[in-house]
Amino acid sequence: MQAFSPLFRSGHLMTLAAHFWPRGPDERRYPARARLYATAPGVQVLVQEQHPAGEARGEFVLLHGLESSSRAGYMLSMARAALEAGFSAHRVNIRSCGGTEHLCRTLYHSGLTEDLRSILETLRSEGRGPFFLMGYSLGGNLILKLAGELGESARGLIAGVCAVSAPIDLLRCVKRLEARENSLYHSRFLRLMKKRMRLRHRLMPELFRIDGLDRVPSLYEFDDHITAPAFGFSGAEEYYRTQSAQRFLARIRVPTLVVAAQDDPLVPFEMFRQVALGENSLIELLAPQHGGHVGFLARGQPRFWLDQVAIEWACSLCVPQAHAPRTEQPSA
């Protein structure tokens, strides 16, 4: 594995630069097909699928972060890297994201795994695989939770799981987002979540009420008054406690790579020390000192260092004799 030489040594600068860095989908060489999956009663999930020339060596299934979509830059560059390495790429729009609000009658939340599980089972029934799950931020929490929920049964469905900048303790991460130094991120996420609620109200006013929405001051309050009740949780505390991936890590039974920058401004790195990832021998922690939140832009080439890490990781799992990639351990 190529050592990571960060383009920026500021977690905030890396996070923002990676968000705006141009990354093309390369749909000329690899045409994208929009496919709808009926994952639950009254729910359809949109997936953008691309395939390499010839038989695929495996399938990368990519999940985005909070209030994002299949068009996120990190999803596009990872799909391109996967395709060039001979893998298919499935860019999943989490329920109601990516312009699909009209395709379901519910919201989404950070631990809602049934849609992804349904998609994987459908693909497996078509003879596809092996499947490598890659989730970013919220998507990282979700795929780790799914792997833990499945336990031993995941071995027949998932070849490997790669979680990037995953908020494995949801309450702690929401509190970090609400810190003064993260006001830019917090205000943006809250604005987008309120915007989505207003759109849901226009589409389905009988299901989505927006009384008092303008007065909701924080992400915690949004989840406490809107997200949690929508899914039967007593409030934000129960929602965060039951849906955080940290509760499921010990039950994971497939090879898992967790990538977390020590300077991530949104996900406290101390979480990864405290949950003792090392107690599960199937989980590897790759923890560069710098990288921000879903950043990891390299000073040299390849610019998108994380994409190459993921390809090497998947290739090592495709070939049983291959050596596992070396990982950077967190500094003391």
Indicate which CATH number applies to the domain containing 284.
3.40.50.1820
Residues 142 and 51 in one domain: yes
| pLDDT band at residue 72 using 50, 70 and 90 as cut-offs | very high
Residue type, 94: I
Other Cβ atoms within 10 Å of 111 Cβ, number: 22
Residues 64 and 144 in one domain: yes
Inside any domain, residue 325: no
Question: What is the phi/psi pair of residue 23, to 5°?
Answer: -145, 115
Residues 204 and 299 in one domain: no
Residues 134 and 266 in one domain: yes
Instruction: Give the pLDDT confidence of 111-122 residue by residue, as tens digits.
Output: 999 999 999 999
> Of 40-49, 174-183, 220-229, 270-279, which gets the smallest average pLDDT?
270-279
| Cα 51-259-58 angle, rounded to 5 deg | 20
Instruction: Report how far apart the first and last C-alpha atoms of the chain are (Å, whole number).
Output: 22
Residue 238 domain boundaries: 170-243
pTM (predicted TM-score): 0.92
Inside any domain, residue 313: yes
Residues 150 and 187 in one domain: no
Inside any domain, residue 57: yes
Angstrom distance (rounded) from CA 109 to CA 220 = 13
Pairing of strands 160-164, 88-92: unpaired
Pairing of strands 131-136, 160-164: parallel
- Tally of structural domains, the chain: 2
Residues 134 and 257 in one domain: yes
Inside any domain, residue 79: yes
Inside any domain, residue 185: yes
Instruction: Give the pLDDT confidence of 87-105 residue by residue, as tens digits.
Output: 999 999 999 999 999 999 9
Long-range contacts for 24-33 (Cβ within 8 Å, ≥24 apart)? 24/76, 24/80, 25/71, 25/76, 25/79, 25/80, 26/80, 26/83, 29/83, 30/79, 30/80, 30/83, 30/89, 32/91
Inside any domain, residue 330: no
pLDDT at residue 277 is higher than 80:
no
Do residues 92 and 47 touch, judged by C-beta distance below 8 A?
yes
Residues 47 and 152 in one domain: yes
pLDDT at residue 256 is higher than 60:
yes
pLDDT at 331: 42
